[in-house]
């Protein structure tokens, strides 16, 4: 059996802004050679190989079967198929594969995220979902999407999901209409509940119902699934016949930051003045706001006696105790200004600790670009939370 790393070298598999999905076709072909899905990808994959000017006419069979020597190889046997939309760095794919799901299609248009994805899964995502011919998406049982949130309201004039045209969820609905997956598994920020006075969520639910799904949703917190992070996300699940029962999810006791800290690495300590709060409180969420950097403290609108509340201090100035949990890692952060108070000193959370509080396994491979690493993890999902939901989806709905 030939190793993926060798095939990768010979066939110049390297995420490149100019490959125009040729490599996505090729890697999807290789990963789906035995499950009847490969015909979707074969011709464009061959076209890509032909352009490489290899000495002989490319015969894809010559490279198969491939041993995927990547951190998260496709499962050798599988119980269900899924697709990974707005795939980011694969926060859905890791737990879905662990539960014996076979990914048959993935899309993500960010170049750096595509590089991380290929490094970990040996497959390059297709690019911009709004520009793809969606016929390329094969039939699948579960559709997963942590889609970017855009506002829309119901025009009342059109029928079906046409009223979301021009938004990314519209493309998701198109795929659902074409391929009718058994289960639709969506994730978004908690704010979706209140977006456009609730219209955005109402529209999504109504459109899924029009497409023939029974829909349930719930806001869940990563801190209930074994990671020390206060990250609330809405989960929306649709199934053709049954309502998903969120009450069956198994939660875990809360854990704290001190249980996941790195040891024996060099830390970046805060070298500016800061203030520790004597009478700090453990918040209901489990956060402990224990101090703040002295600079840029908000002054306007701060009522006397409330100077020490976390909301008064801008996020990059706050310091949290390792006896508690961490606030949600934001997606826009590129320099990792997450300060913690650990063993009498204030230091930055390391990038490795950021991946741990999202529940990523240690073997997850990272690209060599720190600001992208911060951005990618802040955009991703809490892996153990997705795994628990996926486990229940498998048991209740598949």
Ligand X SMILES: C[S@@+](CC[C@H](N)C(=O)[O-])C[C@H]1O[C@@H](n2cnc3c(N)ncnc32)[C@H](O)[C@@H]1O
Residue 14 to residue 119: CA distance in whole angstroms: 9
How does 244-262 read in b/e, with b if 16+ C-beta sit within 10 Å? beeeebeeeebbbbeebbe
Out of 38, 108, 215, 364, name the contact with ligand X by CB under 6 A.
Answer: 108
Q: Which is nearer to ligand X, 33 or 376 (CB)?
A: 376
Binding of ligand X by 89 (CB under 6 A):
yes
Which parts of 225-254 interact with ligand X (CB under 6 A)? none
Q: Per-residue contact track with ligand X, 164 to 203, x per CB under 6 A?
A: ----x-----------------------------------
- Pick from 16, 6, 46, 5: which is nearest to 28 by CA? 46
Binding-site member from 221, 230, 350, 380 for ligand X (CB under 6 A) = 380
Q: With respect to ligand X, which residue has the nearer C-beta, 109 or 246? A: 109
Nearer to ligand X, 64 or 149 (CB): 149
- Percentage helix, strand, coil, to 5, in the chain? 35, 20, 45
> Nearest distance from residue 376's CB to ligand X, in Å?
7
Specify the residue, 82 or 341, whose C-beta has the smaller distance to ligand X: 82
371 binds ligand X (CB under 6 A): no
The whole-angstrom separation of Cα 26 and Cα 23 is 5
The one among 22, 44, 74, 88 contacting ligand X by CB under 6 A: 88
Q: Which helix (H) or strand (E) segment is 104 a member of?
A: strand 101-106
**For the window 128-147, what string marks contact with ligand X as x by the rule CB under 6 A?**
xxx---------------x-
Instruction: For the CB of residue 129, give the shortest distance to ligand X in the complex, in Å.
Output: 4
Q: Which of 110, 230, 310, 322 is in the footprint of ligand X by CB under 6 A?
A: 110
Identify whether the C-beta of residue 143 lies closer than 8 Å to the C-beta of residue 184.
yes
149 is catalytic: yes
Asked if 201 contacts 217 with a C-beta cutoff of 8 angstroms, the reply is yes
Q: Is 293 strand, coil or helix?
A: strand
Cis peptide before 79 (omega within 30 of 0): no
β-pair partners for 105:
83
345-348 and 339-342 strand pairing: antiparallel
Question: Judged by CB under 6 A, how many residues of this single chain contact ligand X?
Answer: 21
Catalytic residue among 103, 149, 354, 382: 149
Considering the complex, state which of residue 288 and residue 386 has its C-beta at the smaller distance from ligand X.
Answer: 386
Nearest to 249 by CA among 271, 224, 277: 224
Q: Which of 91, 101, 122, 378 binds ligand X (CB under 6 A)?
A: 91
Residues with a catalytic annotation lie at: 149
The binding site for ligand X (CB under 6 A) comprises 86-92, 107-110, 113, 128-130, 146, 148, 168, 379-381
């Amino acid at each position: 059996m030939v190793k993926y790393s060798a095939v990768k070298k010979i066939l110049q598999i390297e995420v490149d802004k100019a490959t125009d999905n040729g490599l996505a076709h090729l890697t999807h072909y290789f990963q789906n050679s035995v499950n009847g899905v490969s015909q979707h990808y074969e011709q464009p994959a061959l076209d890509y190989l032909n352009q490489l000017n290899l000495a002989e006419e490319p015969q894809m069979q010559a490279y198969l079967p491939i041993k995927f020597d990547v951190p998260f190889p496709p499962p050798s046997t599988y119980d269900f198929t899924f697709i990974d939309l707005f795939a980011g760095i694969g926060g859905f794919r890791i737990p879905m594969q662990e539960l014996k799901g076979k990914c048959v299609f993935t899309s993500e248009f960010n170049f750096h995220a595509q590089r991380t994805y290929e490094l970990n899964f040996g497959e390059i995502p297709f690019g911009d979902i709004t520009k793809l011919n969606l016929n390329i998406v094969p039939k699948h049982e579960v559709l997963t999407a942590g889609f970017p949130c855009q506002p829309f309201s119901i025009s009342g004039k059109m029928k079906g999901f046409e009223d979301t045209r021009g938004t990314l969820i519209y493309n998701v609905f198109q795929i659902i209409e074409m391929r009718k997956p058994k289960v639709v598994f969506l994730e978004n920020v908690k704010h979706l509940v209140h977006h456009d006075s609730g219209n955005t969520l109402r529209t999504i639910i109504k459109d899924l119902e029009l497409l023939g799904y029974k829909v349930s949703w719930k806001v869940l917190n990563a801190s209930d699934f074994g990671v020390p992070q206060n990250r609330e996300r809405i989960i929306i699940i649709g199934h053709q016949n049954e309502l998903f029962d969120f009450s069956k999810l198994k939660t875990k006791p809360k854990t704290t930051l001190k249980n996941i800290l790195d040891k024996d690495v060099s830390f970046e300590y805060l070298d500016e003045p800061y203030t520790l709060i004597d009478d700090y409180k453990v918040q209901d969420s489990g956060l402990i706001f224990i101090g703040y950097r002295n600079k840029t403290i908000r002054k306007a609108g701060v009522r006397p006696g409330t100077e020490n509340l976390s909301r008064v201090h801008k996020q990059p100035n706050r310091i949290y105790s390792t006896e508690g949990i961490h606030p949600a890692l934001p997606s826009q952060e590129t320099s990792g200004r997450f300060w913690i108070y650990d063993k009498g000193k204030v230091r930055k959370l390391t990038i490795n600790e950021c991946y741990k509080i999202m529940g990523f396994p240690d073997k997850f491979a990272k690209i060599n670009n720190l600001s992208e690493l911060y951005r990618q993890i802040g955009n991703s999902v809490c892996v153990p939370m997705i795994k628990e939901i996926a486990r229940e989806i498998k048991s209740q709905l598949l």
